[in-house]
Chain A
Amino acid sequence: MPDARDVIIVGGGHNGLVTAFYLAKAGYKPLVLERRAQPGGAAITEEFHPGFRCSILAHAAGPLRPDVVRDMQLVKHGLTIITPEVGVVALSPDGRALILHNDREKAAQEIGKFSQKDASKYPEFQKSLAKVGKVIADALALTPPNIDSPSRGDLWGMLKTARSVRNLGKKDLYRLLRWGPMAAADLVAEYFETELLRATIAARGIFGTFLGPWSAGSALVLLVRSAGDSHPAGSACFAQGGMGSITQAMAAAATQAGAEIRSNADVIEIRVKNGAATGVVLSTGEEINAKAVISNADPKRTLLKLVDPVHLSPDFVMKLQHYRMPGTVAKVNLALSGLPEFTALNGSPESTLSGRIHIGPEIDYLERAFDESKYGNFSKHPYLEIAIPSVTDPSLAPPGKHVMSIYVQYAPYKLKGSDWDSQRVALGDTVVRTLAQYAPKLPELISSHQIITPQDLEDTYGLTGGPHLPR
């Protein structure tokens, strides 16, 4: 029998790599097993057309925890974060654009072109988001407590959270309590009157979720995202060389700390004996024993596919089957022969396109996009979240050319009366048609495209139900 490893980590996505790093740091010898040719999970850079590379799935670095960046010394391991001056530019079909700079004052100035009242409210909103978001950030840094029988550590963590909640002060405490269960559409309406601004901020509460802006709870998503980044509409944050650079740096950090990473190692089973995990089996038949197995794959794949259900209580299996992870996002990547001209940005400098581009001009537009997905159709007028990373990182495309990375929402994993193979082209067409309303000449610039449906996300990237992507 081969030697038992300390720890096996199933899946080399960013969470698997971070786990491997911290365990290696603590003196363990973790082995990361990645099914695909390169680690990185949903944070990968690939060449999808000769000379054109982009972040195939997730395209913007979300709120990467600063302690992780520091501990792993990601910058030393080759990570360069690009923070363009423009966070988001929101386009409206009437030819107007709302340019939200990362800088609060500048953003307020641009908002002032739409509404002075909104401009004056914006900094106040941001401050409240930052304060309330901080409490949520503290809670996010904890292992969730076991609500059934909290351990002493759980109680301590909850107590700390409770204290930071109470330290908010009466006004912000009430805000936290009231905002949590609200709809993002209601929350933004309490502060702003400009529809385009409302929609752009509310979009943060629905991105990657099966919620519309009128769904209760979408305000909480907005707050959770604000925990890492208090810009109301979110800032832009890219990695030089695409998202793959983040996971490459993580892999390097983990390896240096003593972890081993094996690619093309597809785990097909987690072995269990007497209620304890004893190792894994690869698709090649190879068996690797370990004292502990940690899975970076989603819970359904981990516990319903990799573990034989006989090892689990039927009650637990049932609960797990109810774990909701409906996919709502598709991805379209375009190779462009030039930089597209957006009608609303006529005359603006190229740097205006350096951040994220938001298409979803009204709350109702976003809600209607959501409505269709409830009945198993993809949105005819989808909400698009776009980046043209080659504007700030020319290494991604040949000189003068560009890559455009587009999140498409809503694209439900389960289509009614159809399947994604037959709808793939229609989805691509819908996206290009939607974009053409804002950049009429864009279709002529497309040299190639890549369409990643929720089905592809599951089949190729192992994301059950094609679930939401990180941002």
Chain B
Amino acid sequence: MASANSKYDVVVIGGGHNGLVNAAYLARAGKKVLVLERRHVLGGAACTEEIFPGFKFSVCSYVVSLLRPEIIRDLDLPRHGLEILPLDGTFTPMPSGDYLWRVNDHGKTHREIARHSKVDAEAYDEFGKAMQAMCRFVKPILSMVPPDPATMNPKELMKLLFIGRRFQGMTSDDKYNQVQLMTMSAIDFLDQWFETDVLKATMSASGIIGTFLGVRSPGTAYVLLHHYMGEIDGAFRSWGFARGGTGAISNAIADAARESGVEIRTQAAIAQIMVKGGRARGVVLANGDEIYADVVSSSVDPRLTFVKMIEKEHLPAEFLEEINRYKFRGSSGKVNLALDALPNFKAMPGPGAHLRGAISISPSVEYMERAYDDAKYGNFSRRPYIDMVIPTLTDPSVAPPGKHILSCFVQYAPYKLRPGLNWDDQKEAFGNNVINTIAEYAPNIKDIILFKQVVTPLDLEREWGLTEGNIFQGELSLEQLFFLRPVPGYAQFRTPIKNLYMCGSATHPGGGIMGGPGRLAALEILKDVKGTA
């Protein structure tokens, strides 16, 4: 129960999917929880908005696969309206007019890859098996609170031992694969398996998403795995849409949370976290209201939490230094299009099943790497990597009859442009460049656009509170993962301030609509407050 001057046991900062998951788990354990969301809609980057009449855009995040199955189960999300519709395959058109089209049907994909290379078709099956073994090793780690390697606490050492044992339990080949995955670039890793350039290019794309790295940068092989881990209904490696748009996921979680007694307020921006005597006491809203709580759980990123919302004097200088060092470096943007008709791809004209999956503009390894080179020097890619989906083909409810939505994830769009450029001026050019790129593959695109929404990294920061526009609340690079996320020594959701916790994507296991951080943080909070309620 809340103590005398506290209205709530826990106040959760931010109503994104992690904040909501966190709140739901806490409420289910009997806590009185309040969620405060700055925007008018819930969901953070997992939101659906009707920006153009009749068209419901999944403005930021647009596909789902990483949502932890235990969360779906625990919160009974299907009962709260969650329905995931499978996204079948990836279609990669090439400038030559050829294409690579991989689908979930094993035989079809095998024949399609064999059309490019017989050897690769064989290797593809082996690769899938190897990756599954890797995923099996990593998955339990996603559900565990990271150990602190610097302590001598036997419990923490047991966790390290557990990881060690699991590692030793793998086959010899898998062990070597795992070591390589943790250290290699996506391309170096894929080079060992495949010879077809377009296959390697399009597969490597998942190694760079949300990072400021190129497909040839060491460390990207791990991100490849992170994305390979997608799981829907227990099937590895499947991605899908939420019916009604990505916001439907957040809404289902919010619904489950409310059912457990969580109170949710939108348009409630937080100005400050109140700290007294090294303890968090509650929050002050932008309108001056003070809300007291025994525990404050922040799902916003560490920069906002510790630099913007807490006065310096409450934090150790060294901790702040680490927080300031934590890398965001957003590298992607989004272009959402309302379409009058379907795009017509030169490589495979007309409507068809190829439009129902992901459409990937990643025609060659060199294309991908050059896109990165532009970004390194502060330019958006002249020819970017684009991952597109047409959700209306699977879920017609999100657009008027006969109309479509084309949701385009674009990388690279570096948050920090080179001196002299700024995103407000570049926004239009960035959007046009994306459309021009698509037009090289689907020339009719320009004629069918009814409305265009461009989301730059700066927009992600301003509107969604994602510092530097990083969609994962901080780069998924090896030095910022697991027991180093967000900063060494504070990977267990606790902070230097008592009763203040972190529960967002900046904590283990990281970004994507996974919910892992929100759930794990809730379990840790409950450990600490057990008996005090």
Task: Judge whether A181 and B219 touch: CB under 8 Å.
Answer: yes
B489 within 8 A of A: yes
Enumerate chain A residues within 8 angstroms of B325, measured Cβ to Cβ: 190
B112 within 8 A of A: no
Task: Judge whether A374 and B369 touch: CB under 8 Å.
Answer: yes
Task: Judge whether B376 and A170 touch: CB under 8 Å.
Answer: no
Q: Please choose the segment from B172-180, B225-233, B238-246, B408-416 that sits at the chain A interface, where 4 or more of its residues have CB less than 8 A away.
A: B172-180
Enumerate chain A residues within 8 angstroms of B192, measured Cβ to Cβ: 322
A291 within 8 A of B: no
Enumerate chain A residues within 8 angstroms of B366, measured Cβ to Cβ: 375
Enumerate chain A residues within 8 angstroms of B183, measured Cβ to Cβ: 181, 217
Enumerate chain A residues within 8 angstroms of B172, measured Cβ to Cβ: 148
Enumerate chain B residues within 8 angstroms of A170, measured Cβ to Cβ: 150, 489
Return the contact of B484 from the options A177, A214, A367, A368 (Cβ within 8 A). Answer: A177
38-92 of chain A: CB within 8 A of chain B? none
Return the contact of A147 from the options B176, B376, B479 (Cβ within 8 A). Answer: B176
A432 nearest CB across to chain B (Å)? 27
Task: Judge whether A178 and B479 touch: CB under 8 Å.
Answer: yes
**Assembly CA distance A368 to B370 (angstroms):** 12
Enumerate chain B residues within 8 angstroms of A217, measured Cβ to Cβ: 183, 218-219
B356 within 8 A of A: no
A15 within 8 A of B: no
Task: Judge whether A173 and B219 touch: CB under 8 Å.
Answer: no
Taken residue by residue from 280 to 324, chain A's Cβ proximity to chain B (1 for < 8 Å, 0 otherwise) reads as: 000000000000000000000000000000000000000100101
250-302 of chain A: CB within 8 A of chain B? none
**Assembly CA distance A324 to B377 (angstroms):** 28
Task: Judge whether B479 and A181 touch: CB under 8 Å.
Answer: yes
B488 within 8 A of A: yes
B149 within 8 A of A: yes
* Given A186-B327, A190-B325: A178 and B179 interface contact (C-beta under 8 Å): no
B188 within 8 A of A: yes
B478 within 8 A of A: yes
Return the contact of B149 from the options A177, A182, A190 (Cβ within 8 A). Answer: A177
A451 within 8 A of B: no
**Assembly CA distance A55 to B325 (angstroms):** 42
**Assembly CA distance A375 to B216 (angstroms):** 12
Q: Which residue of B lies closest to A187 (CB)?
A: B479
318-333 of chain B: CB within 8 A of chain A? 325, 327
Enumerate chain B residues within 8 angstroms of A371, measured Cβ to Cβ: 373, 376
A-B contact count (CB 8 A): 66
Enumerate chain A residues within 8 angstroms of B175, measured Cβ to Cβ: 147-148
Enumerate chain A residues within 8 angstroms of B217, measured Cβ to Cβ: 214-216
Enumerate chain B residues within 8 angstroms of A367, measured Cβ to Cβ: 376
B213 within 8 A of A: yes
B191 within 8 A of A: yes
Interface residues on B, range: 20 to 34
B477 within 8 A of A: yes
Enumerate chain A residues within 8 angstroms of B327, measured Cβ to Cβ: 186
Q: Which residue of A lies closest to B193 (CB)?
A: A322
170-190 of chain A: CB within 8 A of chain B? 170, 173-174, 177-182, 186, 190
Task: Judge whether B477 and A216 touch: CB under 8 Å.
Answer: yes
B150 nearest CB across to chain A (Å)? 4
A211 within 8 A of B: yes
Task: Judge whether B488 and A374 touch: CB under 8 Å.
Answer: no
Return the contact of A173 from the options B150, B216, B220, B369 (Cβ within 8 A). Answer: B150
Task: Judge whether A181 and B477 touch: CB under 8 Å.
Answer: yes
Task: Judge whether A180 and B479 touch: CB under 8 Å.
Answer: yes
Task: Judge whether B484 and A147 touch: CB under 8 Å.
Answer: no
Chain B CB within 10 A, most for which of A186, A216, A374: A216
Q: Which residue of A lies closest to B192 (CB)?
A: A322
A393 within 8 A of B: no
A458 within 8 A of B: no
Q: Which residue of A lies closest to B216 (CB)?
A: A374
352-411 of chain B: CB within 8 A of chain A? 366, 369, 373, 376-377
**Assembly CA distance A217 to B217 (angstroms):** 9
Enumerate chain A residues within 8 angstroms of B484, measured Cβ to Cβ: 174, 177-178
Q: Which residue of B lies closest to A368 (CB)?
A: B377
Q: Which residue of B lies closest to A189 (CB)?
A: B325
**Assembly CA distance A223 to B35 (angstroms):** 45
**Assembly CA distance A368 to B376 (angstroms):** 10
Task: Judge whether A364 and B377 touch: CB under 8 Å.
Answer: yes
165-210 of chain B: CB within 8 A of chain A? 172, 175-176, 179, 183, 188, 191-192
Q: Give 6 nearest A-B pairs by CB, closest first.
A: A181-B478, A174-B488, A216-B219, A217-B218, A170-B150, A178-B479
Chain A to chain B contacts (Cβ below 8 Å), 26 pairs? A147-B179, A148-B172, A170-B150, A173-B149, A177-B149, A177-B488, A178-B479, A179-B479, A180-B478, A180-B479, A181-B218, A181-B477, A181-B478, A181-B479, A182-B477, A190-B325, A216-B213, A216-B477, A217-B183, A217-B219, A319-B176, A322-B191, A322-B192, A367-B376, A368-B377, A374-B369
B residues neighboring A (CB under 8 Å): 149-150, 172, 175-176, 179, 183, 188, 191-192, 213, 216-220, 325, 327, 366, 369, 373, 376-377, 477-479, 483-484, 488-489
A residues neighboring B (CB under 8 Å): 147-148, 166, 170, 173-174, 177-182, 186, 190, 211, 214-217, 319, 322, 324, 364, 367-368, 371, 374-375
Given contacts A177-B488, A178-B484, 12 further A-B contacts (CB under 8 A): A178-B488, A180-B479, A181-B183, A181-B219, A186-B327, A216-B219, A216-B477, A217-B183, A322-B192, A324-B188, A371-B376, A374-B216
